[in-house]
Chains A and B, each alone.
Chain A
Amino acid sequence: MRRQLRSRRAPAFPYGYRHRLDDQDEVNQNYLADEEEEAEEEAQVMVVPNLVEEDEEEKEEEKEEKKEEEESQDQPAGNAWWWKLKIMSEYLWDPERRMFLARTGQSWSLILVIYFFFYASLAAVITLCMYTLFLTISPYMPTFTERMKPPGVMIRPFAHSLNFNFNVSEPDTWQHYVISLNGFLQGYNDSLQEEMNVDCPPGQYFIQDGDEDEDKKACQFKRSFLKNCSGLEDPTFGYSTGQPCILLKMNRIVGFRPELGDPVKVSCKVQRGDENDIRSINYYPESASFDLRYYPYYGKLTHVNYTSPLVAMHFTDVVKNQAVPVQCQLKGRGNINDVINDRFMGRVIFTLNIET
Chain B
Amino acid sequence: MGLSSTRAAELLARDGPNALSPPKQTPEIIKFLKQMVGGFSILLWIGAFLCWIAYGIQYSNNMSSSLDSVYLGAVLVLVVILTGIFAYYQEAKSTNIMSSFSKMIPQQALVIRDSEKKILPAEQLVVGDIVEIKGGDQIPADIRVLSCQGCRVDNSSLTGESEPQSRSSEFTHENPLETKNICFYSTTCLEGTATGMVINTGDRTVIGHIASLASGVGNEKTPIAIEIEHFVHIVAGVAISIGVLFFIIAVSMKYHVLDSIIFLIGIIVANVPEGLLATVTVTLSLTAKRMAKKNCLVKNLEAVETLGSTSIICSDKTGTLTQNRMTVAHLWFDHQIFMADTSENQSNQVFDQSSGTWASLSKVITLCNRAEFKPGQESVPIMKKVVVGDASETALLKFSEVILGDVMQIRKRNRKVAEIPFNSTNKFQLSIHETEDPGDRRFLLVMKGAPERILERCSTIMVHGQEQPLDESAAQAFHTAYMELGGLGERVLGFCHLYLPADKFPETYVFDTDAMNFPTSNLCFVGLLSMIDPPRSTVPDAVTKCRGAGIKVIMVTGDHPITAKAIAKSVGIISANSETVEDIANRLNIAVEQVNKWDAKAAVVTGMELKDMSPDQLDEILATYSEIVFARTSPQQKLIIVEGCQRQDAVVAVTGDGVNDSPALKKADIGIAMGIAGSDAAKNAADMVLLDDNFASIVTGVEEGRLIFDNLKKTIAYTLTKNIAELCPFLIYIIVGLPLPIGTITILFIDLGTDIIPSIALAYEKAESDIMNRKPRHKKKDRLVNMPLAVYSYLHIGLMQALGAFLVYFTVYAQEGFLPSSLINLRVEWEKDDVNDLEDSYGQEWTRYQRQYLEWTGYTAFFVGIMVQQIADLIIRKTRRNSIFQQGLFRNKVIWVGIASQIIIALILCYGLGSVTALSFTTLRPQYWFVAVPHAILIWVYDEMRKLFIRLYPGSWWDKNMYY
Report which A residues bind B (CB closer than 8 A). 2-13, 21-22, 25, 29, 32-33, 35-37, 39-40, 42-44, 46, 48-49, 54, 57-58, 61, 72, 75-77, 79-81, 83-84, 86-87, 90-91, 104, 106, 110-111, 115, 118-119, 122, 125-126, 129-130, 133-134, 137, 140-145, 147-148, 151-154, 160-162, 249, 251-254, 297, 299-301, 303, 306, 339, 341-345, 348
Contacts and interface: CB of A to CB of B under 8 A. Distances in A.
B843 A122 contact: no
Contacts of B834: 160-162
Nearest to B235: A80
Interface stretch (B69-77, B384-392, B415-423, B776-784): B776-784
Contact of B848 (A40, A46, A344): A344
Give the interface residue-count category, chain B: 35 or more
Interface string B861-887: 000000000000000000000000000
Contacts of B359: none
Given A87-B795, A297-B843, A61 B837 contact: no
Contacts of A49: 209, 212-213
Nearest 9 pairs of A and B residues by beta carbon = A80-B237, A300-B843, A152-B847, A342-B849, A12-B787, A251-B845, A143-B815, A76-B233, A12-B786
B783 A251 contact: no
B346 interface: no
Given A75-B233, A84-B238, A152 B795 contact: no
A7 B778 contact: yes
A80 B234 contact: yes
B837 A142 contact: no
A147 B639 contact: no
Given A87-B794, A129-B934, A147-B853, A152 B803 contact: no
A32 to B, nearest CB: 7
B780 A251 contact: no
B487 interface: no
B890 interface: no
Given A4-B775, A33-B643, A81-B237, A142 B213 contact: no
A25 to B, nearest CB: 7
A42 B210 CA distance: 10
Contact of A43 (B210, B241, B853): B210
B769 to A, nearest CB: 10
Contacts of A29: 646-647
B512 interface: no
A119 B954 CA distance: 24
Given A122-B800, A252-B844, A142 B815 contact: yes
Given A36-B639, A126-B803, A130-B807, A79 B233 contact: yes
Contacts of A151: 845
A227 B698 CA distance: 95
B955 interface: yes
A76 B236 contact: yes
B907 interface: no
A39 B639 CA distance: 10
A144 B818 CA distance: 11
Interface stretch (B84-92, B215-223, B437-445, B593-601): B215-223
A297 B935 CA distance: 37
B476 interface: no
A164 B237 CA distance: 51
A351 to B, nearest CB: 14
Contacts of A160: 834
17 contacts: A2-B955, A9-B960, A36-B643, A40-B640, A81-B237, A106-B957, A110-B957, A111-B961, A125-B803, A126-B806, A137-B815, A142-B816, A145-B817, A153-B836, A254-B843, A300-B841, A343-B849
Contacts of B411: none
B646 A79 contact: no
A5 B885 CA distance: 27
B943 to A, nearest CB: 13
A141 to B, nearest CB: 8
A299 B213 CA distance: 84
A134 B963 CA distance: 38
A104 B957 contact: yes
Contacts of A84: 237-238, 241-242
Given A79-B237, A84-B242, A7 B847 contact: no
Contacts of A122: 799-800, 803
Among the interface residues A110, A152, A252, which one has the most CB atoms of the partner chain B within 10 A?
A152
Contacts of A299: 842-844
A133 B803 CA distance: 14
Interface of B: 175-177, 204, 206, 209-210, 212-213, 216-218, 220, 229-230, 232-234, 236-238, 240-242, 636, 639-640, 643, 646-647, 663, 667, 774-775, 777-778, 780-783, 785-788, 790-791, 794-796, 799-800, 803, 806-807, 810-811, 814-817, 819-820, 834, 836-837, 839-850, 853-854, 857, 917, 925, 934-935, 938, 954-955, 957, 960-961, 963
Quick one: which of B819, B845, B957 has the most chain A CB within 10 A?
Answer: B845
A339 B836 CA distance: 15
A344 B418 CA distance: 115
A20 to B, nearest CB: 12
Nearest to A300: B843
Nearest to A148: B850
A32 B817 contact: no
B425 to A, nearest CB: 34
B213 A39 contact: yes
Given A39-B663, A43-B663, A61-B218, 4 more contacts: A36-B643, A42-B213, A83-B790, A126-B806
Contacts of A13: 787
Contact of B837 (A145, A154, A306): A154
A301 B842 contact: yes
A40 B815 contact: no
Nearest to A104: B957
B843 to A, nearest CB: 3
A342 B811 contact: no
A24 to B, nearest CB: 11
B780 A25 contact: yes
Contacts of B954: 2
Contact of B237 (A3, A77, A154, A161): A77
A101 to B, nearest CB: 9
Given A5-B955, A46-B177, A39 B844 contact: no
Nearest to A58: B216
B651 to A, nearest CB: 12
A152 B848 CA distance: 9
Contacts of B795: 87, 90-91, 115
B190 to A, nearest CB: 23
Contacts of A21: 780
B791 A344 contact: no
Contacts of A80: 233-234, 236-238, 240-241
A205 B405 CA distance: 111
A346 B569 CA distance: 92
Contacts of A48: 204, 209
A36 B667 contact: yes
A33 B647 contact: yes
Contact of B206 (A46, A57, A75, A306): A46
Given A2-B955, A143-B816, A344 B847 contact: yes
Contacts of B807: 126, 129-130, 133
A129 B938 CA distance: 12
A221 B934 CA distance: 49
Contacts of A341: 849, 917
Contacts of B234: 79-80, 83
A37 B238 contact: no
A4 B640 CA distance: 29
B845 A152 contact: yes
Contacts of A137: 814-815, 819
Contacts of A249: 837
A32 B667 CA distance: 10
Most buried by A among B177, B794, B803, B960: B960
Given A37-B643, A40-B639, A129-B807, A145 B849 contact: no
